[in-house]
Amino acid sequence: MSRANLDRKPREVAQMFDAVADRYDRMNAVMTMGQERRWRGIVARELRVHRGDRVLDLAAGTGASSVPIEALGARPVACDFSLGMLSVGRDRHRQLNFVAGDALRLPFSDSAFDAVTISFGLRNVADVDVALREMARVTRSGGRLVILETSAPLRQPLKAGHKLYVDRVMPRLAKVAASNDEAYEYLAESVGEWPSPAELADRITHAGWSKVGWRQLLLGAVALHSATR
């Protein structure tokens, strides 16, 4: 199985990411027009970590999102349930700590982390609300949550232009550059049915987080949510 469906069965999602692991970072750069590196830096700074802080980087894939966190002096744990992504990550970033784990049943004790983050991974879990509660469970009181996820502009004509890019341009880019273009068809579909930033903020609050805020980047194509445990 190389393509997951929107019911997000964990085995199918993991197999899909296994299939694209080798070229995943390259495709992210293509799909985001090179913005993904800038976004990773924004996420790292938004965490407001101190030297030595332990940070859970969930759905970390190959660990590219953990590198800027480590550069700030924190101790990231790159966690993902795709063994293929973890294998590629260990080869590329030997200095990082990689752990296999499911967002719905995190293999960590209560209050184990000073902060937790997830970038472009929350929409791939089978139960978003359970994942948000699990992230709250493993974060200490006062710790930070930062989520970077796909979004859509709130106003026309940007909203129409974004839909055109997701529905038409993204699949064509995947066919040219991706190792598994069917996987990127799923990713494009998952963007289209993801909740609005305001709706996601409400769900974060209901999962046990406080001081929830959000802002959109790249003309609304992505949203950055932050909260406190």
Q: Is residue 177 part of a domain?
A: yes
Q: Is residue 5 part of a domain?
A: no
Per the structure, the count of domains in the chain is 1
Query: What are 137-140's contacts with CB under 8 Å, separation 24+?
Result: 137/106, 137/110, 137/111, 138/56, 138/106, 138/108, 138/109, 138/110, 138/111, 138/112, 138/113, 139/56, 139/111, 139/113, 139/114, 139/115, 139/229, 140/111, 140/112, 140/113, 140/114, 140/229
| Both tokens assigned to 75 | 């101790």
Q: What is the mean pLDDT of residues 190-214?
A: 91
Predicted confidence at residue 22, as pLDDT, reads: 76
Q: Is residue 79 part of a domain?
A: yes
Q: What is the mean pLDDT of residues 8-17?
A: 70
Residue-wise pLDDT tens digits, 19-35 = 777 777 777 776 777 78
Q: What is the pTM of this model?
A: 0.83
CATH number of the domain residue 45 falls in: 3.40.50.150
Q: Is residue 1 part of a domain?
A: no
Instruction: Give yes or no for residue 220 having a pLDDT over 60.
Output: yes
Q: Is residue 2 part of a domain?
A: no
Residue-wise pLDDT tens digits, 91-131 = 999 999 999 999 999 999 999 999 999 999 999 899 999 99
Q: How many CB atoms lie within 10 A of CB 36?
A: 21
| Enclosing domain of residue 42 | 10-228
Q: Is residue 3 part of a domain?
A: no
Residue-wise pLDDT tens digits, 124-183 = 899 999 999 999 999 999 999 999 998 876 666 666 666 666 666 666 665 555 555 555
Q: Are strands 210-217 and 222-228 parallel, antiparallel or unpaired?
A: antiparallel
Predicted confidence at residue 35, as pLDDT, reads: 84
Instruction: Using the structure block, give the residue that is written with the tokens 């609050």.
Output: 205
